[in-house]
Amino acid sequence: MELKQRGKTVLDRKYTINQIQEIVGGILSGDGSIEIKKLLPPKLADENTLALALSEEEIENLTITRAKAAMVPIGVSLDHITTIEVERPRLAMMKLLHLFYEAPDAPTGIHPTAVVHPDAKLGQNVSIGPGAVIGREAQIGDNAKILANVYIGKKTQIGHNCLFYPNVCIGDFVSIGNNVIIHHGASIGADGFSFVTENPSNVEIAKEQGQIEEKQEQKIYKIPSIGSVEIKDDVEIGANATIDRGTIENTIIGKGTKIDNLVMIAHNCNIGEGCLVISQVGIAGSCKVGDRVVLAGQVGLADHINIGSDSIVMAQAGVSKSFPEKSIIMGYPAVPRREFVKQTKNIKSVENLLKEVKILKEELEELKKIRK
């Protein structure tokens, strides 16, 4: 088989610059009747494209673009091309992209290969994709799009307007709000990683005594999770992320919080509202994260830690104790940014210190000699 040319998304949509300006706002200079069908950076743009030039590099590229119109930040004035100047370019871009976004195929109805338990309750206009499995007494709200091979456990409740991409796995007794998006292969409601031994384990001994005393050979018992997971409205969860069920209470993800790919949120965690949890963050058991907290990529939180609202934890930080509201922290073990910057500076100054101390020693020796 001969494969066709690899193309970009090609949609049958077009807008005039006037229409665009109505949607995104901003100041139009030039010809509002130009029709555009695509959005691209200046270099890749053709005559039917609205060139998006949000960075300085891209603005420079407008001198060589084939586009007849461009969206630019406020204050960028160009003669050779029609422009829409916008205050907050990423906000304008967001509105624009919605015009050209094409949602995944999810026809209303239950695919014949899906397996819906007779005691499950489905809302109106629900789409259940091929191979999807809906458990006993599960409830799915209106307009939900449950794509292929998604698994939803028993007694789990899903709100309205949710979108679950293929291979998402949701366990039993989970509660999910409205407008929740979950990407490929994410796991919601697997068992918490919680174990106990008959006698104190190596870790328990090490915590108390600072060292490992004796070989401990004993059975490790699983502590079952009877809590589940509660995900509030407007949450988004990335591909292959994992959110474990709570031991007794639920693990909770607050309203509007966005979780990136491959994030781990352990049992009993309570994550606030409007947080951003970037890729590969790991949050150990029973942590409490406030509202509007940003956890940057690969951050780790030890168990039972509180992070106050409006805090920012910078990438790869290893957080071993709690921090109050509005903290900006980094490093391992994580400290306030100012302290980290000072530490880094101090480490750099050691080289100079070594030289200075050497000179001091020599000078002192000199003085001592003279004394004699």
Q: Tell me how long the chain is.
A: 372
Using the minimum distance from each CB to its own copies, give the nearer residue, 17 or 182: 182
User: What's the closest the beta carbon of residue 297 comes to its own copies, in angstroms?
Assistant: 5
Using the minimum distance from each CB to its own copies, give the nearer residue, 33 or 342: 342
Residue 192 sits at φ, ψ, to 5 deg, of -65, 155
Catalytic residue among 111, 160, 183, 267: 267
- For 203, the 3-state DSSP assignment is helix
User: What's the closest the beta carbon of residue 79 comes to its own copies, in angstroms?
Assistant: 25
For residue 63, how many other CB atoms are within 10 A of its CB? 10
Using the minimum distance from each CB to its own copies, give the nearer residue, 33 or 45: 45
267 noted as active-site residue? yes
Query: Are 331 and 340 contacting, i.e. CB atoms less than 8 angstroms apart?
Result: yes
User: What's the closest the beta carbon of residue 83 comes to its own copies, in angstroms?
Assistant: 18
Burial-class residue 86 by CB neighbours within 10 Å (0-12, 13-18, 19+). buried
Using the minimum distance from each CB to its own copies, give the nearer residue, 54 or 79: 54
Rounded to whole angstroms, the Cα distance separating 132 from 288 reads 33
Query: Are 141 and 123 contacting, i.e. CB atoms less than 8 angstroms apart?
Result: yes
Query: Are 295 and 278 contacting, i.e. CB atoms less than 8 angstroms apart?
Result: yes
Rounded to whole angstroms, the Cα distance separating 171 from 153 reads 5
DSSP 304: T
User: What's the closest the beta carbon of residue 94 comes to its own copies, in angstroms?
Assistant: 5
Using the minimum distance from each CB to its own copies, give the nearer residue, 33 or 199: 199
Using the minimum distance from each CB to its own copies, give the nearer residue, 77 or 218: 218
Query: Are 92 and 86 contacting, i.e. CB atoms less than 8 angstroms apart?
Result: yes
Helix runs in the chain, H state only: 17-24, 56-61, 89-100, 202-209, 337-371
Q: How far is CA 267 from the centre of its chain?
A: 19
Rounded to whole angstroms, the Cα distance separating 80 from 30 reads 9
Query: Are 255 and 235 contacting, i.e. CB atoms less than 8 angstroms apart?
Result: yes
Query: Which distant-in-sequence residues (6+ apart) come within 8 Å of 147 by Cβ?
Result: 104, 106, 127, 129, 132, 163, 164, 165, 166, 168
User: What's the closest the beta carbon of residue 105 comes to its own copies, in angstroms?
Assistant: 5
By annotation, the residues acting in catalysis are 267
